[in-house]
Amino acid sequence: MVNTTSPIFIVSGGAGTSGEQLVNTVLAQFPDNGVTVVIEGNIRLGSQIERVVNEARERNGTIVHTLVDSVLRSTLVRLAREQGVFEVDLMGPLLDRLVSVLGRSPLGRPGLYRELRKEYFDRVSAMDFAMSHDDGQNPEDWPKADVLIIGVSRTGKTPLCVYLSVLGMKAANCPIIAGVPMPEELYRLEQSRVAGLSIDPDRLLAIRSRRMGHIGAQAQTGYTDPAAIDEEISEARRVFNKGGYFVLNMTERTIEAGADEIIKRVGRISI
């Protein structure tokens, strides 16, 4: 039986994404399984396979492989059998069947599916990036973003990032909070890659009040206090001026229109 001391090694000539997805799908059927999944991607040499098989033997692991190179696949199967390592071939049987049915040999080129669907995978990557860099998370990764969106709460930062990510753009966002310094990482970014969002105070008050009503809050807080909102907006203006960032007024702008303007300004999309 596989346990925490028996990892699963995913061996692939590409990124190992297909094998990882299937393994995680199976592991989901065993909650709190504690199984370690190790990705061994970009396998090109027999020596790499030998190393993985040796490690799997030493750790009582299981090898799941998606190798399209028939020589490497045969090498892995042979070494695993010789060393008593359990291996699962996710690619070979189907490839062999298609050779028989189609009457021709496969290209044997690793990562071809991902290469052919690059735009799709780039979009997925951008969406993952937006979710993991929402609301100021992981500022150390901001240099990887196509754009960083900053502004006070409820100006539309998160919806804008999500919309941009669907277009393939890596977007992060960070709130501006009165009295709380912005992360130093902000001022290390290229000025052109930061977008500030502004909004009229009355409009912001209406949005926040509606939000509070939705969650059943009755008493007024700083979140919906006009004086506090004015201070937040003033703080945002100071941040915008300090960094020299371009600013979008979202008072009457839709998310789509805001995204179009950001794309025009930034001028770079990941896909």
Same domain, 122 and 110: no
One domain for residues 77 and 126 = no
Classify residue 72: in a domain, yes or no: yes
**How far from 47 is each of 43, 50, 73, CA to CA, in Å?**
9, 5, 13
Structure confidence by residue, pLDDT tens digits, 76-123: 999 999 999 999 999 888 888 888 889 888 877 776 666 666 777 788
Taking the C-alpha atoms of residue 146 and residue 90, their distance in angstroms, rounded to an integer, is 36
Residue 11 CA to residue 65 CA, distance in Å, equals 5
The domain that holds 207 is classified in CATH as 3.40.50
- Residue-level pLDDT at 222: 78
Position 74 in a domain: yes
pLDDT of residue 4: 52
* Domain end marker among 70, 97, 116: 116
Q: What is the pLDDT of residue 147?
A: 97
Does the structure show a pLDDT above 70 at 211?
A: yes
The domain boundary, picked from 86, 116, 146, lies at 116
Asked whether residue 271 is domain-assigned, the answer is: no
125 plus 149 within the same structural domain: yes
| pLDDT reading at 227 higher than 60 | yes
Flag whether pLDDT at 249 surpasses 50: yes
pLDDT per residue over 57-72, tens digit each?
A: 999 999 999 998 889 9
Q: Is the pLDDT of residue 134 over 60?
A: yes
Burial class (CB in 10 A: 0-12, 13-18, 19+), 222: exposed
Structural domain of 164: 118-266
What's the confidence (pLDDT) of residue 1? Answer: 44
User: Residues 137-146: what's their mean pLDDT?
Assistant: 96
Q: Among 67, 91, 116, which residue terminates a domain?
A: 116
Please state, for a pLDDT cut of 90, what percent of the chain lies above it: 70
Q: 60-94: string of b/e by CB count within 10 Å (b at 16+)?
A: ebbbbbbbbbbebbebbbebbeeeebebebbbbee
Q: What is the mean pLDDT of the chain?
A: 90
DSSP code at position 189 = S
